[in-house]
Structure 1
Amino acid sequence: MLRIPELTINWHILEACNYDCYFCYAKYGQKSIFSRDYAGILRELGALNDRRIDFLNGSAIAENVRINFAGGEPFLEKDLGQAIALAYDLGLRPSFISNGSLLTDDFITKFGPMISVAGFSVDSFDDEQNRRIGRRDNRGAQVGYERMAAIFRLFRQVSPDTLLKVNTVVCRENVNDDLTSPLHELQPDRWKALRVIPIHGATGRGITDDEFSSFLGRHQDMPGKIVPEDNIDMHRSYLMLDPDGCFYQREGSNYLRSSAILDVGAATALRSIEFDAKTYFSRY
């Protein structure tokens, strides 16, 4: 049986976002109930630490479980800080993935030492490209390089053990870019380059195999661990929770969901979900 040092569960706590990236796949059509139910769900997930987990297509043992708060934009949820603190107390090694626009210095100072991984979605540092992607709020404000660099500096100051990660969706707008210089300056611990999934708003706007390969080749000297992900690499290799606390997998433009964790428990809900543990493990 495969033993996984750390199993990440990505909880997309809400669909809402203050940005409007056209390729976003968080289209659940569900209202977030996070503020009402997060404590019970986190306690269920905490019980998965260092135990056998049965999936629809196999089993694995997770020595540790990391809960990754995602969205939409997770910092739109007012109780995110309290949830991070509870997850930390439960031994869940909390993390997040965010566009960074709503993250404050006070939040980093207070909760940073509890956060195992701070992840940021960065597709470009070019204002016009971000505008075309939709990576800006309704006033046109974006997170530029200087603000991102300040966030990285503060995390390293108050929480040097927090790993800093950048996620880049390689899409039609940035496929010919070279992010080597700004990423060398930021020095993320991990950089994930994800090939855009041509569904929802990205339907018909994918990139070719050669374009994706060229983008990766252009960045082969990046610092830290580089994790390229083609569309096939993402298939069934993520464990994801929707806003209702149901595990789900993408099936084309639709979703396959488990029963809700608060109805049947996390272990039972996972038994109805396929999960490619070997592909997951290969990323780490």
Structure 2
Amino acid sequence: MINSGLTVNFHLTKNCNFRCGFCFAHFKQTAHLEYKNSASIVQELRNFGFRKINFAGGEPLLYRNFNLLLKYSKKIGFITSIITNGSRIDQNWVKDIAPHLDILGVSCDSGNRETLQLLGRGNGTSVDHTKRVFEWIDEECIKSGARIYKKLNSVVTKLNWKENMSDFVKSLNIHRWKVFQVLRIEGENEMNFSDYQISNEEYSFFLKTHSGLPKYGVKIIAEDNSLMTNSYLMVNPSGRFYDNNSGRYYESDPILEVGVEKALQQIHFSKENFTQRNGFYSI
């Protein structure tokens, strides 16, 4: 049986209401599964032994019946997680979903509105809205007794590698900050990648700038390009495992046709890289 501590990342949809120029999850050639098939994949993954599932996109909250799928995943025993740009989250959503959600991750790459607009991450309102989302989570946890682990995801690019985001990050009251070096993926973002590409030294500079945050309770998880390669178990919107081996995506046969075990054998995954990027953690 697969190690129960591993996370499966189910990218439900390629649809997104933001246009981040560095995005490597366009899934241009993939179709979308109907809810019934997505739920069947979730069940197959759980039967195989996976315990943690993370829903991503695109923007996962644009997937039809997303709330229903999340609640179903929790019902059958998954530790549930979301990575979202947060734009479609309001206080009513938080109240409805809190009992079924274990981990909430919001993607925001800067504490500067102008930088976010240049990156294509909405119209710049993500700075304030991200703060509100985490405040709503805190308030709901206090009211209901829910326990939701909070994290921020940020991609370091040419537009933000000199920025000090410390005050913004501290204001969010989060547990974990994942800091990614912008990654080139053939067929996804290579056309304009030079507009965002940074050197290893520039990435290290960004990390050094924020090295004081752990004393405020923020655990920084740094993922350079080498650690991002083959360290994620990912399912694309058409229900196939895929990997980013050698700078491009390779995919398995459909999980619902060949089963989880055979589909896993068709992609590259490094448990060592998963471990090195701190993929195993308690909430």
Q: Same fold (TM over 0.5)?
A: yes
Give the distance between the partners of 2:183 and 2:248, measured in 1 at CA.
13
Matched, 1:278 2:272: yes
Matched, 1:13 2:12: yes
Matched, 1:181 2:180: no
Which residue of structure 1 lines up, in the alignment, with residue 135 of structure 2?
153
**Alignment-mate amino acid for residue 133 of structure 1:** L
SS of the residue corresponding to residue 168 of structure 1 reads strand
Matched, 1:203 2:193: yes
Structure 1: gaps spanning 5 or more residues: 50-63
SS of the residue corresponding to residue 178 of structure 2 reads strand
Instruction: Kindly state the Cα deviation for residue 36 of structure 1 after the two structures are TM-superposed.
Output: 4.2
Query: Looking at both structures, which has the greater relative contact order when contacts are Cα pairs under 8 Å and sequence separation is at least 6?
Result: 1
Instruction: Kindly state the Cα deviation for residue 206 of structure 1 after the two structures are TM-superposed.
Output: 1.0
Give yes or no for contact 2:105–2:150 (8 Å, CA) kept in 1.
yes
Instruction: Kindly state the Cα deviation for residue 156 of structure 1 after the two structures are TM-superposed.
Output: 2.1
Which residue of structure 1 lines up, in the alignment, with residue 127 of structure 2?
144
SS of the residue corresponding to residue 203 of structure 1 reads helix
**Alignment-mate amino acid for residue 13 of structure 1:** L
Give yes or no for contact 1:81–1:111 (8 Å, CA) kept in 2.
yes
Structure 2: gaps spanning 5 or more residues: none
Give the distance between the partners of 1:252 and 1:275, measured in 2 at CA.
12
Give yes or no for contact 1:48–1:65 (8 Å, CA) kept in 2.
no
Higher mean C-alpha deviation, range 222-231 or range 240-249:
222-231
SS of the residue corresponding to residue 242 of structure 2 reads strand
Matches within 5 A, 1:20-59: 20-29=19-28, 30-49=30-49
The 1:263/1:9 distance shift into structure 2, 3 A limit, reads same
Matches within 5 A, 1:101-120: 101-120=87-106
Structure with more of its chain in helix, by fraction: 2
Structure 1 moving runs of 4+ over 6 Å: none
**Alignment-mate amino acid for residue 87 of structure 2:** S
Q: 2:210 aligns with which of 212, 219, 228?
A: 219
Which residue of structure 1 lines up, in the alignment, with residue 227 of structure 2?
233
Give the alignment's TM-score, normalised by structure 2.
Answer: 0.88
Give yes or no for contact 1:259–1:269 (8 Å, CA) kept in 2.
yes
Matched, 1:100 2:86: yes
Give the distance between the partners of 1:198 and 1:78, measured in 2 at CA.
29
CA RMSD of aligned residues (A): 1.8
| Deviations 1:171-216 (CA, angstroms, capped at 9, x unpaired) | 0111000011111121211101100013415422310121111100
| Deviations 1:126-182 (CA, angstroms, capped at 9, x unpaired) | 12111110001xxx363232x222211221232342110100000011100001111
Q: Percent identity?
A: 30
SS of the residue corresponding to residue 94 of structure 1 reads strand
Give yes or no for contact 2:108–2:130 (8 Å, CA) kept in 1.
no
Instruction: Kindly state the Cα deviation for residue 255 of structure 1 after the two structures are TM-superposed.
Output: 1.7
Instruction: Kindly state the Cα deviation for residue 229 of structure 1 after the two structures are TM-superposed.
Output: 0.5
Which residue of structure 2 lines up, in the alignment, with residue 169 of structure 1?
155
Give yes or no for contact 1:113–1:158 (8 Å, CA) kept in 2.
no
Give the distance between the partners of 1:250 and 1:35, measured in 2 at CA.
26
Give the distance between the partners of 2:35 and 2:114, measured in 1 at CA.
36
**Alignment-mate amino acid for residue 24 of structure 1:** C
Give yes or no for contact 1:239–1:247 (8 Å, CA) kept in 2.
yes
Instruction: Kindly state the Cα deviation for residue 38 of structure 1 after the two structures are TM-superposed.
Output: 1.3
The 1:141/1:184 distance shift into structure 2, 3 A limit, reads closer
Higher mean C-alpha deviation, range 34-43 or range 241-250:
34-43
Higher mean C-alpha deviation, range 246-255 or range 213-222:
246-255
